Structure 1
Amino acid sequence: MENTKTCETCKHFIQHYYKFGQTFRPLSVGHCTDPRCRDKKVETPACHRYLLKK
Structure 2
Amino acid sequence: MLAFRNLRPAIYSAAQPLLDHGNAKVREAALVPAIPLAEPPLSLHTETSWLTTPVAC
TM bin, normalised by shorter chain, reads: under 0.3
Compare the two structures and name the one with the higher strand fraction: 1
* Bigger Cα Rg: 2
TM-score, length basis structure 2: 0.21
TM-score, length basis structure 1: 0.21
